[in-house]
Amino acid sequence: MTTSIKDLTPRQIVAELDQYIIGQHDAKRNVAIALRNRWRRMNSAADMQREITPNNILMIGATGVGKTEIARRLAKIADAPFIKVEASKFTEVGYVGRDVESMVRDLVEQSVNMVRAAKKEAVQVRAQQAVEDAILDILIPPVKPVNGQPHLGFENEKSDPDAELNERTRERFRDKIRSGEMDDRKIDIDVQQAQMPNIGVMGGAVDDLSMMNIQEMLSGMMPKRGKKRKVTIAEARTILLEEEAAKLIDMDEVKEEAIRKAEDAGIIFIDEIDKVASARSGNGGGGPDVSREGVQRDLLPIVEGSAVNTKYGVIHTDHILFIAAGAFHVAKPSDLIPELQGRFPIRVELQSLSEDDFYQILKEPKNALTKQYEAMLQAENVSLNFQDDALRELARIAFEVNQEVENIGARRLQTVLSHLMNDFMFDIPDVIGANAQVVVTKELVGEKLNGLVKNRDLSQFIL
């Protein structure tokens, strides 16, 4: 979805999120306010725009309750660059591993891809025309004047019958190419390939940014080599369209716009933030807790606002929206270093999902798992229908398994439903043919799943 945020009020943003996420109204309300505040900042007085900082959000809740989905859907609503990272994957500066600045570089990369895709869409018509001309030049080369002059006896190319016949033939073939009549015909095309040398680095370790810059610099210096390929016209259209669109796009403009988009609209979702917080139990500050606190201190300047070097330029993180999330089963939010706590002023506690929530998740969202299975079987011309009491039974079993084994939230529905549907997915279309109708009843759900739960043979449900 690419609705402009200026067209959506906070209530409308919540309504959009409601189409995909069940419950968690407080979390939706806070992210909706945060998103609308971005538009408010961009439309405030110029001297105040730099002063207005985003209200970063800390989501507290068990796995599978919708934390990541809320942030991801929010980014889609805003058409904003979005990156999800796990705080536990980062290491303190000086240790081997990923440094926290890499998440900002990933965000810029995502922003560049989004802007490039939008620019590509804008030049699509011109690129398609250029591709058609290139394919026609291969099939029917145009009549070229000799030494820059028309054929002997003709004042110009328009009066040359050979040129006229050539042009008419090209137009007939152009129509055939557009209609797809010639898609299976094979032609030889030149494909540009950049020479990428193997790079070996002597001495100390080189960070990700430096390596990317070295590779980009060397790839720009190396000549591009053309390679002949025999492909169908349909394949040639796809290959050449990428090349022609790239020629029409100004990458310097893309980079500048992408940096601005990441700075003003970027969203970074930091999951498992509780894994770098440790309960202060008087352990003397030794062991892994030092590294955890080091990651927090490395995160702090990024969240506060700093300049980060990327291969596309310098990006300032002052107005990027940071959403952190964690279960906080062992550590508490207050175990984060005070400076980092202060950078996440909005705290939202997400509720654990109930059996009724599971039922609603199976039935209501646009992307509900049941609707996904219906779409997959529809591709086989098989009709799938879930009865209402079957959905309630699925919800009950998923909720019970979560209680008995480990609570992984709504993700349990995927494993339960997968186990239920596996036989059908295997038998279609060999045993269950086209135009068949599959009806999932409460009895069918009980037959396939209840025995496992009663016998406590729950290993198949453990992710």
What count of residues does the chain have? 463
Query: Of 223, 248, 273, which residue constitutes the final position of a domain?
Result: 248
**Final residue of a domain: which of 221, 248, 275?**
248
- 104 and 10 in a common domain: yes
DSSP of 374-403: HHHHHTTT-EEEE-HHHHHHHHHHHHHHHH
Q: What was the pLDDT predicted at 461?
A: 52
User: For 55, phi and psi rounded to 5 degrees?
Assistant: -90, 95
**Cα dihedral sign, 294-297-298-303:** positive
Does any domain span residue 462? no
Most confident listed range (126-140, 311-325, 396-410): 311-325
Is 460 domain-assigned? Answer: no
Beta-bridge partners for 325: 59
pLDDT tier, 224 (very low <50, low <70, confident <90, very high otherwise): low
Does 405 lie in the same domain as 328?
no
d(CA 64, CA 77): 21
Same domain as 261, residue 231: no
What residue numbers bound the domain in which 62 lies?
A: 5-118+255-349
Residue 207: its pLDDT value, please? 54
Q: Which CATH number fits the domain that encloses residue 267?
A: 3.40.50.300
Share of the chain above pLDDT 70, in %: 81
Whether residue 369 is found in the same domain as residue 306: no
If one counts the domains in the chain, the total is 3
- Please give the pLDDT value at position 188: 79
DSSP letters for 359-376 = HHHHHSSTT-HHHHHHHH
pLDDT for the residue 204: 45
Task: Provide the pLDDT for residue 198.
Answer: 55
For residue 427, give the CATH number of its domain: 1.10.8.60
In a domain, 266, yes or no: yes
* Confidence check: pLDDT of 123 > 60: yes
Domain boundary among 197, 222, 248: 248
Q: Please report whether residue 124 resides in a domain.
A: no
For residue 95, being part of any structural domain is answered with yes
Query: 6 vs 236, which has greater pLDDT?
Result: 236
| pLDDT higher than 80, residue 172 | yes
pLDDT for the residue 132 = 84
| Least confident segment among 51-60, 190-199, 366-375, 443-452 | 190-199
Which one has a higher pLDDT value, 326 or 219? 326
Please tell me the pTM assigned to this model.
Answer: 0.78
Average pLDDT of the residues in 404-414? 85
My answer on whether omega of the bond before 54 falls inside 30° of 0, hence cis, is no
Taking only the tens place, the pLDDT of each residue in 337-352 is 999 999 999 999 998 8
Exposed (0-12), middle (13-18) or buried (19+): which is 86, by Cβ within 10 Å?
Answer: middle
Query: Is the predicted pLDDT of residue 170 greater than 70, yes or no?
Result: yes
CA distance 183 to 219: 34
For 242-271, how does the pLDDT look when each residue is reduced to its tens digit (9 = 90+)? 888 888 899 999 999 999 999 999 999 999
Q: Are strands 307-310 and 57-60 parallel, antiparallel or unpaired?
A: unpaired
Residue 123 in domain: no
Alpha-carbon gap, residue 281 to 330, rounded angstroms: 12
Residue with the bigger pLDDT between 190 and 377: it is: 377
Decide if 461 is inside a domain: no
d(CA 337, CA 277): 8
The whole-number pLDDT of residue 216 equals 60
Task: Quickly state the pLDDT bin for 281 (edges 50, 70, 90).
Answer: very low
Indicate whether 9 and 45 sit together in one domain. yes
pLDDT, residue 226, reads 66
**279 and 340 share one domain:** yes
Mean pLDDT of 225-244: 81
Same domain as 184, residue 213: yes
Cα torsion 366, 393, 387, 375: sign: positive
Q: Give residue-wise pLDDT tens across range 381-391.
A: 999 999 999 99
Which tens digits make up the pLDDT trace of 182-207? 788 888 787 776 555 555 554 444 55
User: Does some domain include residue 463?
Assistant: no
Q: What does the pLDDT average to over 97-122?
A: 90
Q: What is the pLDDT of residues 445-455, one digit of tens each?
A: 988 887 656 65
Average pLDDT, the chain: 82
Q: Please state the three-class secondary structure of 212-257 as a single string.
A: HHHHHHHHHHCCEEEEEEEEEHHHHHHHHHHHHHHHHCCHHHHHHH
Closest CA to 372 of 425, 433, 430, 449: 425
CB 394 within 8 A of CB 413: yes
Q: List the structure tokens of 239.
A: 């290959």
Amino acid identity of residue 289, one-letter, is D
Do 148 and 243 lie in one domain? The reply is: yes
Same-domain check for residues 151 and 83: no
Same domain, 286 and 327: yes
Residues 231 and 277 in one domain: no
Least-confidence region, from 113-117, 172-176, 427-431, 449-453: 449-453
27-32: which pairs have CB atoms within 8 A and are 24 or more residues apart?
A: 27/59, 27/66, 27/67, 27/70, 27/348, 27/350, 28/70, 30/57, 30/346, 30/348, 31/57, 31/70, 31/71, 31/74, 31/323, 32/74
The pLDDT-based confidence of 458 (bands split at 50, 70, 90) is low
**Do 145 and 229 fall into the same domain?**
yes
